[in-house]
Amino acid sequence: MIRYRIALIGLFLLINGSALASGLVAGFRMWHGPDRTRIVFDLTHEVSFKVATAESPKRLTVELPSLSLMTSITTEAGSGPVLGISTERSVSGDLIVVFDLARELEAHAFMLAPRDPYPYRLVIDLTPHDASVGTQALPESGAEEGYLVLIDPGHGGDDPGAIGASGEYEKEVALQISNRLASLINGQQPIRAELTRESDFYISLRDRVQLALSRRADVFVSIHADAAKRASASGASVFVLSEKGAGSELGKWLAERENASDLAGGVDIGRREPVVREALLDMGIDWKVKESRKLARELLNELGQVGDLHSERVESAAFVVLKAIDIPAVLVEAGFMTNRSEERALKDRMHQERLAGALYRALLGYCKIDTRCPHGDLRLGEYIVRPGDTLSVIAARMNIAEAALRDANGLASDTLRVGRTLTLPGS
């Protein structure tokens, strides 16, 4: 897509697409990420379009020739930098959508070809004038010290990931489990956990890698709940990078699906930078894979304590998001959205707590053998009660019977005081 700057009354940025056909606007949505706001129009046909930003008043204008609206175009009050949206018709009958903005923004627009479950999409990314797309949200390296676990909730935004038999989205399950895991780590241990995304927006594979590098993460854990060709496929799996190709047919198929996420998520392929660095730490790759396998074995052991395993061995596949990261990196498949019973379980809060607890215990287990981790400072065998905790939730997270937890701490009731340190029996 070519960008044209044209001086009109005020400053306008015009971005033109090729004229092919008219059609319908069948869907509309906006995502607000840390570095951009994304606007998406679902179209029944590829069409010509014009996108213009103005300084006074601050607004974005989208012109779609001869299109009919088959959906509502609205926004919540104070939703990101968009203050309001209105629609009108030009004299020639073109549909004009006007976005009132809180501040000056740059616009980059492009068309995406149909990809299940989406039709043609017109995607518009709004970013600050001084920001490079995809980098604004990345913090300065070394901003915080300490052992950092970077948790990567798969998919997001326009990329739903696997869609379950009853319509649940993988992207939501992955984010929910990731949030529970991060909260558990940060509330209990001297090590830190951060997320690559904290809400429902898409981050390109390249930017997920860049986040791990810029934040100087020590461990990278990508969390998914994927699909399989067989609806009966079930159980959790853990993958590490394969240098020689996938270790199983399922691994190969999953890697192909995950590596294509940018297409569903809405990455402008024409502007995309290479994700995988050609000279990938040739001297350190053996260490990385070896350490990743150690972490993966800890994860499999703990996941097997709270549910079924799809494979009891560490799987390997050429996941792009694992390739360009020079630290121990794993991809966890918490289960299969395409299995009806697992889909229900993956959406269940207590099952998510059990999964988050298993991942937490595995990370502590790996930390104890990782010389980079301050394992002498780890609080093992105890749990600090946090706001919102209940005895049943703590028992689920720590994989301990409620009665045993109650007896070990002399609890006469299930009432817990925030800040109290509980002893974990059997730890």
Tens digits of per-residue pLDDT, 335-355? Answer: 999 999 999 999 999 999 999
Look up tokens 């269940």; give the residue: 348
Residue ranges of domains in the chain: 3-127, 148-375, 381-423
Token pair for 105: 């923004």
Cα-atom radius of gyration of the chain, to the nearest Å?
A: 24
Token pair for 75: 């926004």
Query: What pLDDT is attached to residue 302?
Result: 98
CB 424 within 8 A of CB 382: yes
Question: How many C-beta atoms surround the C-beta of residue 158 within 10 A?
Answer: 23
Torsions phi, psi for 7 (to 5 deg): -85, 120
Q: Please state, in angstroms and rounded to a whole number, the distance separating the CA atoms of residues 252 and 232.
A: 18
CB 346 within 8 A of CB 335: yes
* Predicted confidence (pLDDT) at residue 208 exceeds the cutoff of 80: yes
Q: Please state, in angstroms and rounded to a whole number, the distance separating the CA atoms of residues 36 and 32.
A: 6
| Architecture in CATH of 3-127 | Sandwich (2.60)
Token pair for 86: 């209105």
Question: How many C-beta atoms surround the C-beta of residue 1 within 10 A?
Answer: 13
Q: Please state, in angstroms and rounded to a whole number, the distance separating the CA atoms of residues 385 and 102.
A: 41
Triad 146, 150, 156: Cα angle to 5°? 155
Q: Please state, in angstroms and rounded to a whole number, the distance separating the CA atoms of residues 188 and 378.
A: 9
Torsions phi, psi for 182 (to 5 deg): -60, -45
* Predicted confidence (pLDDT) at residue 249 exceeds the cutoff of 90: no
* pLDDT tens digits for range 354-371: 999 999 999 999 999 999
Q: Does domain 381-423 have CATH number 3.10.350.10?
A: yes
Strands of the sheet containing 3-8, edge to edge, are: 3-8, 10-16, 50-54, 59-64, 95-101, 82-89
Query: What pLDDT is attached to residue 360?
Result: 98
**Least confident piece of the model among 67-81, 101-115, 143-157, 224-238:** 67-81
Residue in 109, 154, 100 with CA at minimum distance from that of residue 127: 109
Model pTM score: 0.77
Average pLDDT over every residue of 80-107: 91
Strands 3-8 and 10-16 come out as: antiparallel
What is the residue-wise DSSP string for 227-282?
A: --SSTT--SBEEEEE-SSS-SSHHHHHHHHHHHTHHHHHT--GGGPPPSS-SS--T
Residue in 36, 42, 39, 363 with CA at minimum distance from that of residue 207: 36
Query: What pLDDT is attached to residue 243?
Result: 66
Token pair for 36: 């951009």
What is the residue-wise DSSP string for 46-66?
A: ----EEEEETTTTEEEEEETT
Query: What pLDDT is attached to residue 197?
Result: 94
CB 166 within 8 A of CB 234: no
Triad 129, 133, 135: Cα angle to 5°? 105
Domain at 148-375, CATH from 1.10.1070.20, 3.40.630.40, 3.40.50.80, 3.30.450.40: 3.40.630.40
Look up tokens 């340190």; give the residue: 421
Identify the H or E element spanning 302: helix 285-306
Question: How many C-beta atoms surround the C-beta of residue 305 within 10 A?
Answer: 13
CA distances in angstroms from 200 to 69, 108, 155, 402, listed in the order given: 25, 20, 9, 34
**Least confident piece of the model among 219-223, 276-280, 390-394:** 276-280
